[in-house]
Amino acid sequence: MNTTMKRVLLGTTGVVGLGMLIPAPVFAAEPVTLSIDGAVRVEAFFVEQDDEGTTSSRGFHLHLDDAGFNLKARGEADNGLVYGAAIKLDADAAGGGVSRSEAMLWFSGGWGRLELGNDDGAEDGMGNHGGDLNSGASGYDGGPSAAFDFNGAEIAAPGLKNDSDDAAKITYFTPRINGIQVGVSYTPDTDVDGTASLANGVTATGGRQDHIGLGINFVQSFDDIGIRLSYVLSHGDAELNETQDTNSWAIGAQVDFGNISAGGGYGDSGDSAEAAGSLVSDQTWGDFTVRYKDGPITVSAGYFSGSASITGSEDDEVDIFSIGTAYSVAAGLSVHAGFDFIDVDQDGTANDNNGTLLTIGTKMSF
């Protein structure tokens, strides 16, 4: 089957499937409701590192790490169809700008959930790893890159490399049966976001086309023990002949027992999205974190290691050990602190860097 025919069949299937899920006439059993939530987080960074080329010699930084809000609408038809829309706005852009990062429609019922629009794919939302348990400033899965110079290291944080991000897509999630759920996303072109010109879908740029995101997870509780397992996959054809296709996967596991949780993950991106004939390959990462929670207090300790093979040079390696804590002061208000030990061995001694990062912050969620 050629690529054009595959796209036509996928698009037709999505439209026909949606039509079957919404028989006419459909009347509202409940009026559409609107809600808003968001968060603002401000952090202070105290950093000491050998290489200060990017962050200058100033060891103190004040940073608006996260600010934004979500607009949500939800309705229910008299045939049991639940439907809604969501728009995510970021207010932490450079210069104080506000930007739309996600916008989507969704439909759900006993058959599962269908999402249409600009949102994360199944490969992003269904995975888990140790960084999910990092307390406070989120440690190696948080903001070290805002204050620490990684010198262009290939793998400096956990997660799939070159997923579909927020590009326009179709995503379907099955109902969860015996703890198991499957999700799959199709993105025609990862360069198309929002009202981007259709030319973005036919012009060869640095993106990926016919991208498939897959997620499978198992979530179950046995007495006082909770278990979460996941497998996610990102696959897409490179638009440029001189770029490698994306083939990236990751697994994750988490166990909860009383006040203690432990989780870890491993990912392999191979030579995804690298230039054809690139010297970079075998891009992998692994992490593990333990967290303790007692009422308003959480404490965690975790370790991350990322590496890539570079032909003709030393391997590119990043190691981060993170400890963190957070305290809930009042409803929606918390304070947190984190300490990271970071070591970067990046393609030879000239690009090496190591140091420490202390993060202190506060967050308001509403």
99-142 pLDDT, tens digit per residue, is 778 899 999 999 999 999 999 999 998 999 999 999 988 899 97
CATH superfamily of 39-365: Porin (2.40.160.10)
- pLDDT surpassing 60 at residue 246: yes
Instruction: Give the ranges where the chain is alpha helix by DSSP (H).
Output: 3-21, 122-125
- pLDDT surpassing 70 at residue 328: yes
- pLDDT surpassing 60 at residue 6: no
- pLDDT surpassing 80 at residue 281: no
Residue 7's pLDDT is 52
Query: CA distances (Å), 86 to each of 14, 33, 56, in order?
Result: 20, 12, 40
Name the residue type at position 337.
A
Q: How confident is the model at residue 338 (pLDDT cuts 50, 70, 90)?
A: very high
Average pLDDT of the residues of the chain: 85
Residue 108's pLDDT is 97
| Residue whose C-alpha is closest to residue 126's, from 51, 167, 182 | 182
Contact of 356 with 45, CB cutoff 8 Å: no
Contact of 101 with 70, CB cutoff 8 Å: no
Residues 6+ apart with CB under 8 A from 217: 126, 127, 128, 180, 181, 228, 229, 230, 231
With a pLDDT cut of 90, the percent of the chain lying above it is 53
With a pLDDT cut of 70, the percent of the chain lying above it is 83
Residue 280's pLDDT is 76
In this structure, the strands spanning 99-109 and 353-365 are unpaired
- pLDDT surpassing 90 at residue 238: no
**Adjacent-strand bridge partners of 117:** 104, 169
Residue 26's pLDDT is 55
